[in-house]
Structure 1
Amino acid sequence: MDKFESMRIFTRIVELKSFTRAAEDLGYPKATVTNAIKQLEARLRVRLLHRTTRQVSPTLDGDAYYTRCIQLLADLEETENVFSQAAANPSGKLRIDMHGTLGRHFVLPVLDQFCTRYPNIELQIGMGDRLVDLVRESIDCVLRVGELQDSSMVARRLASLEQVTCASPAYLELHGEPRHVEDLAAHRAVNFFSAQTGKIYPFEFKVDGERREIAIPGTISVNNADAYKQCCASGFGLIQVPRYGVAGLLASGALREVMPEYRPQPSTVSVLYPHHRQLSPRVRVFVDWLATVFATAM
């Protein structure tokens, strides 16, 4: 087995924390993977991995070697692409994770266009809002909404989403319509909480050019976009969402926008990917296609 393939096996073991899962992912027998690591450690004369019955983790030397392997493997792929047709006709598996509502609204309806244009790319798509570790989970890119937290990733901004505050006509008839942020003290909200932390997200408003966060009490909290809109339409309180997500409900009159003068700043849509994937033809064509999708939709 050549050195580059040994490196690839090692990086997948680190990312998946398992010899067995790495072997399955790469299509090797587990014995081949185990033997490759033994030979690699013998050649380097260092121990690269801690092995327990439950998990595999890198040693300090293993961490350092992993970082170098990732860069070397990326450089190898880039070099080979220069002298092959891969850049013009990319192939292989592309692992993507998308913000669920965003993906369903903007990406999935036109995904057939990408598949027709690049028939040799196999897409593996995760849908959700959880934070993912792109490197450890071997995800090539993610589509997200909001401010970017991970500066170690390459980010490309795709669009800005206008935010609106809404309520149902029945709720407004019962409680009155808020006109100013001070009025919100007498109102109720359907609150949205993080599935990871349980934290309730505050409402945001732009007041005199400044961003202002306001916590509005409520009897119902959810962590699902469809449930969020349904509870609002049922009269449980105010919600704050991207306009695209409630455009149909606003048009039909099932929901009404309130306090348009205090709309928060638009939310940013971005695609993120690890530095070592920025030259991958698969990632590059998908990111470029996403940019076209959002440019057309906005």
Structure 2
Amino acid sequence: MSTLSSMRNLNALLVFVKVAETRSFTLAAQRLGLTSSAISKSIARLEQELGVKLLTRSTRLVNLTGEGASFFERCRQILTEIEDAESAVTATTATPKGRLRLQMPVGFGRRVIVPKMWEFTQRYPELSIDIELSDRQVDLTYEAVDAVIQIGPITDERVVAHRLCNLSFAAYASPEYLARHGTPLSPDDLDHHHCLAYLLPMSGDHREWRFSKNGQDFTKVVSGALNINNAESLLEAAIAGAGIVMVSDFIAGNALRSGKIQRILSEYVVAGPEVSVVHLPRSTLAAKVRVLVDYLKSIIEDIDPQALSKTEH
């Protein structure tokens, strides 16, 4: 029996895919504007028609069975093809509208992107922007996020990435700290200083500091009495005289220009990671994603070159 002929319409597929993506009947219901009861009944009917169990339910989470995982991939392909077909027809005339969900790292988002997003909403008044500021890793395949600004290499082959820029990281300290403790002349001198490290919460480790000299890159693991998983907070501690930090230029820019901190070990500065905006391939034709990517590129082009080190697109 054909699946399409046995089901009333594609709504059952949409409900199933949303439950599989969110791993929750409640979240799926919220995303689709339905009740949890309607979601549960739709899944039950679908499982009855197919004659297989697609989901297993626990008190806190919904999981896919083996058959459910296979069916999920096929359903997602079907819905993606339908979305692509609709987008292809309307791409040239579509007005960006609806809700656009964007996730980005806290520091980069606060300093570079968020101050410019009000202008974006004025340019596209039919768009509503939801921005999540967090340093967590987002899985676009399973989360209701349209695009992510990512710092670092792109390892997910399922996404489309648009490079925005490269960051430049350097070591900084306040004039007061350097007056009290002296200025380190090499990375080895850091062993005798108070270093404020970036804490990696998931592992409990501290982010390595990268340096370069005579074309050779090397790293150094530092930590001290105060280690924080937020670059802006680390900078504030350095301004207060707590020690030496390594942060990107866009974080340090204002404090550096005002004299609250000084750059040290300048001859050891290494090129930082890439910054990209990424989305799923099916979003390429969506008007709201296309205008977002173009706008983000224009933001970077207008940034002070001392705050961000530009790369070729």
Tell me the TM-score normalised to structure 1 length. 0.92
Query: Residue 94 of structure 1 corresponds to which residue in structure 2?
Result: 100
CA contact (8 A) 1:191 1:239 kept: yes
1:271 has 2:282 as partner: no
Query: Residue 38 of structure 2 corresponds to which residue in structure 1?
Result: 32
Query: Residue 53 of structure 1 corresponds to which residue in structure 2?
Result: 59
Aligned-pair CA distance for 1:278 = 3.0
Aligned-pair CA distance for 1:279 = 3.0
Q: Secondary structure of 2:108's partner?
A: helix
Q: Secondary structure of 2:69's partner?
A: helix
Query: Residue 87 of structure 2 corresponds to which residue in structure 1?
Result: 81
Within a 5 Å distance, the mapping from 1:1-298 to structure 2 comes to 2-84=8-90, 88-297=94-303, 298=305
In structure 2, give the amino acid aligned to 1:279: L
Aligned-pair CA distance for 1:240 = 0.9
Please list the CA deviations of residues 14-57 of structure 1 after superposition, one character each: whole Å capped at 9, or x if unmatched: 12212122112211122322222222223333221112233211
**1:38 & 1:67 partners in 2: Cα distance?**
19
After the TM superposition, which of the residue ranges 188-197 and 87-96 deviates more from structure 2? 87-96
In structure 2, give the amino acid aligned to 1:111: M
**1:139 & 1:246 partners in 2: Cα distance?**
29
CA contact (8 A) 2:17 2:72 kept: yes
Q: Secondary structure of 1:266's partner?
A: strand
CA contact (8 A) 2:166 2:271 kept: no
CA contact (8 A) 2:97 2:127 kept: yes
In structure 1, give the amino acid aligned to 2:139: D
| Pair 87,271 (structure 1): closer, same or farther in 2 beyond 3 Å | farther
Aligned-pair CA distance for 1:292 = 1.6
CA contact (8 A) 1:161 1:266 kept: yes
**2:68 & 2:61 partners in 1: Cα distance?**
15
**1:241 & 1:170 partners in 2: Cα distance?**
19
**1:73 & 1:296 partners in 2: Cα distance?**
38
After the TM superposition, which of the residue ranges 141-150 and 263-272 deviates more from structure 2? 141-150
In structure 1, give the amino acid aligned to 2:122: T
Aligned-pair CA distance for 1:270 = 0.9
CA contact (8 A) 2:104 2:150 kept: yes
What percentage of aligned pairs have identical amino acids?
Answer: 32
Aligned-pair CA distance for 1:115 = 1.2
| Pair 83,9 (structure 1): closer, same or farther in 2 beyond 3 Å | same
Q: Secondary structure of 1:190's partner?
A: coil
Q: Secondary structure of 1:220's partner?
A: coil
Query: How many residues were matched structurally?
Result: 298
Query: Residue 309 of structure 2 corresponds to which residue in structure 1?
Result: none
In structure 2, give the amino acid aligned to 1:43: E
**1:217 & 1:82 partners in 2: Cα distance?**
52
| Pair 85,162 (structure 1): closer, same or farther in 2 beyond 3 Å | closer
In structure 2, give the amino acid aligned to 1:158: L
Query: Residue 310 of structure 2 corresponds to which residue in structure 1?
Result: none
Please list the CA deviations of residues 58-95 of structure 1 after superposition, one character each: whole Å capped at 9, or x if unmatched: 11111112122222212211211233378520222221
**2:216 & 2:59 partners in 1: Cα distance?**
54
In structure 1, give the amino acid aligned to 2:200: S
- Structure 1 gaps, min length 5: none
- Structure 2 gaps, min length 5: 1-6, 306-313
| Pair 21,117 (structure 1): closer, same or farther in 2 beyond 3 Å | same
